[in-house]
Amino acid sequence: MVPLFRWYTRRVSGGRTALIGLSVGELEELLARLGEPAYRGRQIAEWIYGKAVDSFEEMKNLPASLRAKLAESYTVSPLVVSDHRTSTDDVDKLLVHNGDGEVYECVLLPYKDRVSCCISSQVGCPMGCTFCATGMGGFDRNLTAGEIVAQYLLLQKISKKRVSHVVFMGMGEPLLNAKNVVKALHILHDEIGLSWRHLTVSTVGIVPQIENLTELGLPFNLALSLHSPFDEVRSKLMPVNQKWPVDVVMGAMKKHHRKTGRKITIEYLLINEFSDTIEQAKALASLVSGTPSVVNLIPFNYVDTTYGYSRPSPERVRAFRNVLEARGVNVTERVERGHDIAAACGQLAGEHHGRFARRDGLSELPVSS
């Protein structure tokens, strides 16, 4: 029988296996295989998840002989930092890889009342959204649970305060890597101690995977990148809409709310004279009516695409928001950070020409169940 922990590890440069991504139980199993008592696994978990250390030498309550044995075949983190930028408004953005040059991004976002981070779930993205720098770069592979959690721990190590909120809004479509994302969510909650209420997964709307998550009943926040209530507009922005149109994906989101009790979040990108019209604001208000929800407005963060999209004026943003609020919709507006460090998802990776293999169309999406 193949040990459970092997399903969730990935060898890093030098042939060693990373331990981040293993639960306490899996670490206990690993230590037992090495002829060590189970409590050593719990000690290692505390060092990794409780103190965010990234070397065995820092684990001072482990015997020197065990630390040496572990270092021969294992490493703590799978990540190598390729670039680290800090913005004038205190945002840190890291470009990381697994020793193989396949780069992806994670971002540390300090606020007055909390510290949040944005992490990636894939190297690149196959969804092809026409406004997105990551989509322009193509897709390479899914990240393991360890590679996902390691982003959080890396950001925690450089943060002056506890990172209390995690959003899966970095590179990739999380629901195409559902197995590893769910594993990472469990580690963030069970091992690191983050509240389910502070974990948010964003999706373009992969309906079968939304339904699978609904059956799991985990009370994290699920956010839908909608960007238009009109199918003809949304399909131009997001090819996924041709497979699961607005009514279908919203139906799945509403079922998710009824099962989990969590309000749904609608991410809405405002593109000048394209998705920011008053007619769309009225239709969006009708679409979310009767379902506990919040609409998060995101004025377009300029990315140089071939589609000529531009940022709406503050007046157009205000008019769109006023229509929603007049109809009783709970509205927030994203506080934008890090413009001077290429903070839009995929921009920094694009500058480094990460090894993405473009995949066109939706017929063979790389779904991880």
CA distance 272 to 261: 34
Query: CA–CA distance from 366 to each of 7, 48, 147 (Å)?
Result: 17, 30, 17
Beta strands in the chain (DSSP E): 17-18, 74-75, 80-86, 92-97, 104-110, 115-118, 122-124, 139-142, 165-168, 199-203, 221-225, 264-270, 293-299, 331-333
CA distance 229 to 13: 45
Give yes or no for a contact between 257 and 264, defined as CB atoms under 8 angstroms apart. Answer: yes
Mean local confidence (pLDDT), 293-317 = 88
pLDDT for position 181: 98
Question: Side-chain half-sphere of 136: how many Cα atoms within 13 Å?
Answer: 18
pLDDT for position 366: 47
Mean local confidence (pLDDT), 58-87 = 94
Give yes or no for a contact between 276 and 312, defined as CB atoms under 8 angstroms apart. Answer: yes
State yes or no: is 345 an active-site residue.
Answer: yes
Confidence of residue 338 (pLDDT cuts 50, 70, 90): low
- DSSP per residue over 101-125, as a string? S--EEEEEEE-SS-EEEE--SEEE-
pLDDT for position 352: 47
- 33, 171, 201: which is closest to 106 by C-alpha? 171
Mean local confidence (pLDDT), 45-71 = 95
Parallel, antiparallel, or unpaired: how do β-strands 74-75 and 17-18 relate? parallel
The answer on pLDDT for 47 being more than 80 is yes
Selecting among 28, 105, 147, 191, the annotated active-site residue is 105
The one-letter code for the residue type at 74 is Y
The one-letter code for the residue type at 157 is K
The one-letter code for the residue type at 315 is E
The answer on pLDDT for 146 being more than 80 is yes
pTM of the model: 0.88
Strand-pair partners of 282: none
The answer on pLDDT for 1 being more than 50 is no
Tell me whether residue 29 is exposed, middle or buried, using C-beta atoms within 10 angstroms of its C-beta: 0 to 12, 13 to 18, 19 or more: middle
State yes or no: is 117 an active-site residue.
Answer: no
Confidence of residue 172 (pLDDT cuts 50, 70, 90): very high
Domains of the chain: 10-75 (1.10.150.530), 80-351 (3.20.20.70)
Mean local confidence (pLDDT), 142-154 = 97
| Tens digit of each residue's pLDDT (9 = 90 or more) over 2-13 | 333 333 345 554
pLDDT for position 88: 86
pLDDT for position 337: 54
